[in-house]
Chains A and B, each alone.
Chain A
Amino acid sequence: MQLYEYTAHELRSLLRSGEVSAAETAEALLDRIAGTDPQLNAYITVLGDAALEQAGEADSLLKAGDGGALCGVPVGIKDNICIRGVRTTCASRMLENFSPPYDANVIELLRAQGSVFLGKCNMDEFAMGSSTETSYFGPVRNPHDLSRVPGGSSGGSAAAVAAGSAVVAIGSDTGGSIRQPASLCGVVGMKPTYGMVSRYGLVAFASSLDQIGPLARSVRDCAMVLDAIVKGDSRDTTSIMDAQDGFEARLETDMKGKRVGLPREYFAQGVDEEVRDAVLEAAKTFESMGAVCEECSLPLAEYALVAYYLVSSAEASSNLARYDGVRYGYRAHGAKDHEEMFVRSRSEGFGREVKRRIMLGAYVLSAGYYDAYYKKAQQVRTLIMRDYAALFNKYDFLLTPASPTTAWKEGARIDDPLRMYAADMCTVPVNIAGLPALVLPCGRGEGGLPIGMQIIGPARSDALVLGAGYAYEQAAGGGALRPVEVGGGQG
């Protein structure tokens, strides 16, 4: 077995017993990146020497019996999360040469563990996209089939974890940007409850929806990463200050008597039959463990996607107003006054999808349209939150598909925004309501392409959601996934 094939929890044992060193692990991962990234393009920046230096420090910590559970574990970081002094581009020309002067909260916490940062993972520009094709640095390819997209926007993080060019990765999820690529790449991904992980140092897209979370090759690994990065932080006023960690210790396998709801709207039109069948098969696995599965209804699910695009675009247009070419980021040259500098810097620095969302956001926030669009969307948001609350009176968690289809061919949707947006129909409602949701593989469709299922729980039930995923993983005989051999073959 190659070093890059181990999961984080397996590596933890090997590193602690001294069987392998953090330095040789980091070297193995950097070699794997060198071998796979010409095809995948999962990384925008690879941290070669810096990673080896961190690995050396991790080895000292391990020798002294110090360091956290992730000490010496190589991690990929989505390129919208700030690492001090390391280029953080958001996959945009706007930030092509931007190096932040501070670490994000998650980076501080991973440093405290002794983790090793392999590099910055490719993504859709400013996290706006569902296929990682809008990156200024070129598209990411799906390790299961290089002619297909990895999903998005954390497509680089998902592809790297699937291919073994990262052991675990950190992503961000505004409408499904961790879970949908996890599904399309056949890995495990989690969006924690809104507020569980501090957003300090995450480049803002839509602040009321953005949440940071892990991608990994097992549920246990996701729990390990969450244990490291869940911590109240006063620098993010939406942070849950009394958030409890201990997720790995609380992974339970007893599903006896658990009530599982299957909202029929998630299995309706627009969801491929092979996806539907695979998730219903997973429901049977839960039943075989003693859970009680039942069809239920989330009647407003179809409106969630609409509300999402209004709210997220409105917030994005405000958040992205800061890119003006003055303090950091791209500046157009030769402008005759400041106004021309603003306009040209933004027009040359942002890509097409980002501009489309800024324009939509400016429109729905503008006088005369605010009530009809933005306010209406926020009201629908209230209704969706109420619908979920009612469901969670009856069910411990909900089981749904993670994506209506498996990975599609590169280029197939890029010129059709509405078809692209539909890719998020299974994941978006969760962000609208701020709930925790875990995505994990539950089968393969045509061409061997991964199918993912989604477990949704009430706010702050992150431990329960992970526990249900873990129980399924054990029962389905899964456990840790093997990395995919890039360029053909199945993992």
Chain B
Amino acid sequence: MERKQIEDLAKLAKLEFTPEELDRFAGDMGDILGFVDKLGELDTKGVPPAAHVSGAVNVLREDVPRPSVPREDVLMGAPERDESGFIIPRVI
């Protein structure tokens, strides 16, 4: 896998790597993709993809209001917060 491809992927995944890590990843990913290319041996024409195993489709519930987790409980784990919300660095 090309170094540039790894860098683009990292951007998509919102990760950053040191140059040494990038080299290592390029090697690992090359090995792993070599391994997964094995699937190409199988003829899967016309086989429906399995999204999951149970066969259930669109499990829905009635749209009725119900109590949620209290706001204070949700904010408890925030890295930075005020009384009513999360604080993050500037966006614009």
Q: How far is the CA of A326 from the CA of B35 in the complex (A)?
A: 36
Give every chain A residue within 8 A of B86 (Cβ-Cβ): 326-327
B18 to chain A: closest residue by CB: A347
For A327, what are the chain B residues with a Cβ–Cβ distance below 8 Å? 74, 77-78, 86
Chain A positions 176-227 with a Cβ under 8 Å from a chain B Cβ: 194-195, 208
| B interface residues, how many (CB within 8 angstroms) | 47
Pick the residue among A98, A337, A359 that contacts B29 (CB under 8 A): A359
Q: Is the CB of A379 within 8 A of B48?
A: yes
In the docked arrangement, what's the CA distance between A39 and B10, Å? 37
On whether A338 and B47 interact (CB within 8 A), knowing A343-B14, A347-B15, A362-B9, the answer reads no
> What residues of A have a CB within 8 angstroms of the CB of B89 in the complex?
335-338, 340-341
From known contacts A338-B88, A376-B44, infer whether A343 and B39 are also in contact, taking CB-CB under 8 Å.
Answer: no
CA distance A336 to B88 in the complex (A): 10
Asked if B50 contacts A417 (CB within 8 A), the reply is: no
Number of A-B contacts (CB under 8 A): 159
B73 partner, pick from A101, A240, A343, beta carbons under 8 A: A101
Judge whether A392 is part of the interface by a CB distance below 8 angstroms.
no
Q: Are B32 and A102 interface neighbours, CB within 8 A?
A: no
Contact of A433 among B53, B70, B74, B90 (CB under 8 A): B53
Residue in chain B with minimal CB distance to A307: B39
Does chain A have a CB within 8 A of B65? no
Interface centre among B13, B14, B17 (most CB of A within 10 A): B13
Considering the chains assembled together, what is the distance between the CA atoms of A344 and B28 in angstroms? 22
Contacting residues, chain A, for B77 (C-beta < 8 A): 97-101, 327-329
Q: Is residue B4 within 8 Å, beta carbon to beta carbon, of the partner chain?
A: no
Inter-chain CA distance A301–B10, complex, in Å, is 32
The closest CB in chain B to the CB of A361 belongs to B13
Q: Are B42 and A300 in contact (CB under 8 A)?
A: yes
Separation in Å of the A463 CB from the closest CB of chain B?
18
- Complex alpha-carbon distance, A421 and B28, angstroms: 13
Question: Once the chains bind, are A306 and B15 in contact (CB under 8 Å)?
Answer: no
Stretch at the interface among A142-150, A260-268, A380-388, A469-477: A380-388
Which listed residue (B14, B28, B52, B70) contacts A356, Cβ 8 A? Answer: B28
Residues of B within 8 A of A375 (CB): 49
In the assembled complex, the Cα of A98 lies from the Cα of B78 at a distance in Å of 9
The majority secondary structure among interface residues of chain B is loop
What residue in chain B is nearest A354 (Cβ atoms)? B15
Of residues 320 through 378 on chain A, the ones whose CB sits less than 8 Å from some CB of chain B are 321, 324-331, 335-338, 340-344, 346-347, 350, 355-356, 358-360, 362-364, 366, 372-373, 375-378
| Residues A358 and B13 in contact in the complex (CB < 8 Å), given A306-B36, A341-B89, A363-B29 | yes
Q: Which residues of A contact B (CB under 8 A)?
A: 97-102, 194-195, 208, 234, 237-238, 240, 300, 302-303, 306-307, 309-310, 317, 321, 324-331, 335-338, 340-344, 346-347, 350, 355-356, 358-360, 362-364, 366, 372-373, 375-383, 385, 417-418, 421, 433-434, 459
Q: Which 7 A-B pairs have the closest CB atoms?
A: A434-B53, A378-B49, A328-B77, A331-B79, A101-B73, A237-B59, A379-B44
Show 23 A/B contacts (Cβ-Cβ < 8 Å), sorted by A. Answer: A100-B77, A101-B69, A195-B54, A208-B52, A237-B56, A238-B59, A300-B42, A326-B79, A328-B77, A329-B79, A346-B15, A347-B15, A347-B16, A355-B25, A358-B13, A359-B10, A363-B9, A376-B39, A376-B40, A376-B42, A379-B49, A383-B44, A417-B32
